[in-house]
Structure 1
């Protein structure tokens, strides 16, 4: 009973905030998604990433193992789903990126913070940074058929990650006034990201729910198996193991839909995967959390 209460206390704020965004749109209120998203990825999330890395107290050896596990985890997903897409004859540009990349920022990051505290934030930020770097390069290449390295170099999240890693490596700290400012900016990232997820889901429409259901179940199963396997192989400590598993199992990111729409892939099919996998995560992520706590 205590475990169920603990899990509820962790996941309820995440889905309640997403529900606020969903309800806000359904009530007809204005929400400028492009402005809020730009504010988040340009200021709030980079500030959160930089401060979390700079202030993390995770031992260097554990952080290195976790980073390697996150990278290998993405490579494992890419390999498995590349083979699956080819064998099933699915459109690679449409399906491969959504199957690989999860919503590690908007959903995964807040969930890890509520579940594991400051230590969980440090690991979750590292996983988010790996996801962002790969999705801005390899992910764009999958959908657009061309490299996205120029876009990655212009992303504040990428530079915040690199700068935070340097500060962590050298043991540097920014002046207190600057740290406090960056912390304030970072504190608005989590509620902003969660509400934005609800808004984005409320605005999506799709006719591809049937296929989206079994693809979302497949994605969750493969992600759970690989997350558990790589967490064990790299001998991650309990918090790092839990963060890796949760982040691997996050639903399809809304950005996958935006990329599909922008580069003329099957955006309707991707929208279906975003919607179904997000609804599925309402039940799946608390269950996974109960397993790792």
Structure 2
């Protein structure tokens, strides 16, 4: 109960505030896009870079954590693809988007603030590693599979390079790469710059959570509930269960990195699933519903997991 009050309630409370602000039209119609841009291009990248620049590289690039978390993501991606094939006989693009909805958790906007609230600064390096894993596996592999059907004829190599380029130019993985490079090179950040980084980074968590609420406020569930329900079950229940079974073979599940990975596996579907569906005009209703349903039910599942791991 203490974990729910101290960690889950503030996190979901800020999301609710953003949702209500959107529903009550307190902010202008462009507020969602503007706040998302601020979080994606400024607040979170600055937080990621500042944290990693002051963290030893070996504390971030943990091969054991990388392998264990990757296995859980890949397994749920494959399971998501199979469910769409069985339920609607969808093609490769639809299957891939279901795989993304089933495996790509909201690790950036929700996961980083959650780990920061639950574990403090020690929770950030492993959290950022899960951001890298999720972006590379779900985005590169997922987009590549989508484009193999949607953009047929371009060839697998060109398709892979295009998907990899989309990840490489994303400010979040980019800031992580620069942060690791700064740490490896022993870069000393000047005090004024360090204070600017701390000030800007402090805005990341509340703004990211508020942006989730704003995003959800103008979405509705109209159809695609069967596949969305399956994606929600896989993302909220199966992925953390697999993580709990797989991770002990690689790392101590009771350690901070182990608990961070477990929490990251339990997060709801990222809004990127909707964005990609909209971009390719495939399974838009199903992915919209998956984001909404998984976020709503994650209030219960994430809170329960926080209690189970003993976070206070």
Would you say same fold, with TM above 0.5? yes
Q: 1:64 to 1:93 in 2, by over 3 A?
A: closer
Alignment of 1:38-77 (within 5 A): 38-56=37-55, 60=59, 63-77=62-76
Cα-Cα RMSD:
2.2
CA distance in 2, matches of 1:261, 1:274: 13
1:5 to 2, 5, 8: 2
Q: 1:6 to 1:252 in 2, by over 3 A?
A: closer
SS at match of 2:189: coil
CA distance in 2, matches of 1:85, 1:28: 36
The answer to whether the aligner puts 1:161 opposite 2:161 as a matched pair is no
| 1:75 shift after superposition | 2.4
1:120 to 118, 123, 128: 123
Who is 1:183 aligned against? 198
SS at match of 2:222: coil
Who is 2:152 aligned against? none
2:280 to 249, 260, 263: 263
The answer to whether the aligner puts 1:14 opposite 2:11 as a matched pair is yes
1:224-283: CA deviation from partner (whole Å, max 9, x where unpaired): 122112221112352111110110111111111011011111211111111110011000
CA distance in 2, matches of 1:62, 1:266: 35
1:197-245: CA deviation from partner (whole Å, max 9, x where unpaired): 0011111112236413343123322201221122211123521111101
Alignment of 1:27-38 (within 5 A): 27-29=24-26, 30=28, 31-38=30-37
| 1:130 shift after superposition | 2.3
The answer to whether the aligner puts 1:92 opposite 2:92 as a matched pair is no
Who is 2:259 aligned against? 242
* CA contact 1:57–1:119 (8 Å) conserved in 2: no
Unaligned stretches of 5+ residues in structure 2: 149-158
TM-score (normalizing by structure 2): 0.85
Number of aligned residue pairs: 290
The answer to whether the aligner puts 1:229 opposite 2:259 as a matched pair is no
* CA contact 2:83–2:230 (8 Å) conserved in 1: no
TM-score (normalizing by structure 1): 0.90
